[in-house]
Amino acid sequence: MAAVALVQGASRGLGLEFCRNILINKAPGALIATCRNPDNAAELMSLVAQHPGKMTVLKLDVNREDDIQRAAEHVKKVFGKVDLIINSSAMLHPSGKGETSLKDVSAQGIISTLTTNTVGPLVMAKYFAPLLQKGSGAFGQQPPEKAKQHSGIIVNITAKVGSIGDNAFPWFGMDIGGTLVKLVYFEPKDITAEEEQEEVENLKSIRRYLTSNTAYGKTGVRDVHLELKNLTMCGRTGNLHFIRFPTQAMHRFIQMGSDKNFSSLHTTLCATGGGAYKFENDFRTMADLELLKLDELDCLIHGLLYVDSVSFNGHPQCYYLENPSDTQNSVKTPCSLADPFPMLLVNIGSGVSILAVYSKDDYKRVTGTSLGGGTFLGLCCLLTGCETFEEALDMASRGDSSNVDKLVKDIYGGDYERFSLQGSAVASSFGHMMSKEKRDSISKEDLARAMLVTITNNIGSIARMCAVNEKIERVVFVGNFLRINTVSTKLLAYAMDFWSKGQLKALFLEHEGYFGAVGALLELLKSSEEP
């Protein structure tokens, strides 16, 4: 008789994936899938419809011995044997919390957890062992010695949810920078009715709070226009949300996590950036959470490559500016990073790091500069009285930096033709400010614009020299300094093109400053997949 396989806990997750894999790669004579509530197992029933005549679905709650006994009797009557049994159901805790502290421990909770994860598979073995002994040994490798050959295999496997570890959801990645905290959140959209019924209220509450709001308090923002839809991560389908708030508000964020009892769902968060070290003790003492601290440059590169690989809802993630020499009429043009290496990666946050990247895991930090986005905002707050990055950029968009900077034409009376320096090029940043007459005539908007131009020109100059020294032609600019910052984007594109005589092209990415947080999320999922 053809091989017979049985997957216990097949409505979702690993159990469902085992069913798919067996049907595709093993082609058994029969596949028996069991779950507690077949009526609510939509994905499983869809799989049955795709493979008519190949699957049988049985109701089986691994906590109920009578269910197991009835299922074994049914299999004996219809199939007479089993060649493979996979036990894949799992429970963290009946409440969905887990024993994250002694106050959460209850005898009944521990008993229920052990029944599902340990006793249940043992009872399965009790009733199905006679059927496994009648199997034909169709699964697994057989040794040459006949005496050592098996008739059937029973496999007890569980997701991380069934171990003394953290539950799978919610999925977060954090990048805690010097100025801004970036948070990515994966919202599952394939939740089955059975899963929804099992979900604890605080998990639902967190999901509702994050996905139904676009602002959190006075300073937190969800960048709705960046949402990545219908992603598949770790076998789950959902949307990836991008949230940011000032690092100054970190303690309010930690307190919110404590108020929403986040530690009942996770005991560890994956975080990168300097703040993962700075705020580690605050997370521990205020919210009963540990931070898994990840290297920020590893996360940056891994996150960038992942986001580029999944595209931006069907559109390219990467773009450049066509005709960068005409800053008023340059055109945003999509392009591909399909073959990204080598690339010079310029990450502009509070400060600037410049990396030469040769592969996903082969890179070096070439140099950096302390003059970055934090410098721009700090000087703007000092000299103009603004309070936010958005306010500073708005002021800069309405200013004229030539009222503050001394230009080539202010020195030469026109272009410096020998070296092809246009009269409009900056010769001395803030050079006019040595004149009291000039100081008295400028506006705050002019100062903001001059600061933005100064910081951007410095970054562009350093990046161009690094590209030449490293012999790299692909220069990619990322970081939240570029968020809603068209002035700097155009200046960087112009600088790369002008100083390289068209040999270097500045590339930009739509998700700008979120790649570190995505890299942290990827590490969380990688950890979840490990046995």
Q: What is the pLDDT of residues 38-85, one digit of tens each?
A: 887 888 898 899 888 889 999 999 889 999 999 999 999 999 999 999
DSSP string, 262-283: GGGT-SEEEEESTHHHHTHHHH
Q: What is the mean pLDDT of residues 108-129?
A: 83
Tens digit of each residue's pLDDT (9 = 90 or more) over 124-148: 999 999 999 998 887 877 787 777 7
Query: DSSP secondary-structure letter at 169?
Result: P
Tens digit of each residue's pLDDT (9 = 90 or more) over 439-456: 999 999 999 999 999 999
Percent of the chain clearing pLDDT 90 (strictly above)? 61
Residue 161: per-residue pLDDT? 44
Closest among 494, 485, 474, 470 to 367, alpha carbons compared: 470
From residue 277, give the alpha-carbon distance in Å to each of 14, 271, 365: 34, 9, 20
Percent of the chain clearing pLDDT 70 (strictly above)? 93
Tens digit of each residue's pLDDT (9 = 90 or more) over 478-531: 999 999 999 999 999 998 998 888 888 899 999 999 999 999 999 988 865 443
CA gap 106, 38 in Å, rounded:
30
194 is catalytic: no
Closest among 303, 217, 227 to 256, alpha carbons compared: 217
Residue 94: per-residue pLDDT? 53
Cβ-based neighbours of 431, under 8 Å, separated by 6 or more: 405, 406, 410
**Token pair for 519:** 């890299």
Is the per-residue pLDDT at 341 higher than 70?
Answer: yes
Is the per-residue pLDDT at 86 higher than 50?
Answer: yes
From residue 309, give the alpha-carbon distance in Å to each of 163, 225, 313: 32, 18, 11
Residue 22: per-residue pLDDT? 87
Residue count of the chain: 531
Q: Which residue has the tokens 């931070």?
A: 291
Query: DSSP secondary-structure letter at 156?
Result: E
DSSP string, 185-239: EEEES---HHHHHH--HHHHHHHHHHHH-SEETTTEEE-GGG-EEEEEETTEEEE
How many Cβ atoms are within 10 Å of 505's Cβ, its own excluded?
A: 18
Residue 105: per-residue pLDDT? 67
Q: How confident is the model at residue 165 (pLDDT cuts 50, 70, 90)?
A: very low
Residue 477: per-residue pLDDT? 98
Rounded mean pLDDT of the chain?
A: 88
Is the per-residue pLDDT at 162 higher than 60?
Answer: no
Query: DSSP secondary-structure letter at 166?
Result: -
From residue 37, give the alpha-carbon distance in Å to each of 10, 92, 483: 10, 19, 48
Closest among 142, 168, 167, 163 to 153, alpha carbons compared: 142
Is the per-residue pLDDT at 159 higher than 60?
Answer: no
Q: How confident is the model at residue 92 (pLDDT cuts 50, 70, 90)?
A: low
Residue 427: per-residue pLDDT? 94
Residue 525: per-residue pLDDT? 86
> pLDDT higher for 5 or 103?
5
Q: How confident is the model at residue 97 (pLDDT cuts 50, 70, 90)?
A: very low
Q: How confident is the model at residue 423 (pLDDT cuts 50, 70, 90)?
A: very high
Q: How confident is the model at residue 95 (pLDDT cuts 50, 70, 90)?
A: very low
Q: Lowest mean pLDDT: which of 15-19, 32-36, 106-110, 171-175? A: 106-110
Q: What is the mean pLDDT of residues 461-486?
A: 95
Residue 214: per-residue pLDDT? 95
Catalytic residue among 65, 187, 227, 296: 296
Residue 114: per-residue pLDDT? 79
Residue 530: per-residue pLDDT? 44
Question: Cα torsion at 331, 335, 341, 347 (round to 10°)?
Answer: 50
Closest among 8, 21, 123 to 57, alpha carbons compared: 8
Residue 39: per-residue pLDDT? 85
Residue 164: per-residue pLDDT? 38
The helix/strand/coil state of 293 is strand
> pLDDT higher for 83 or 26?
83
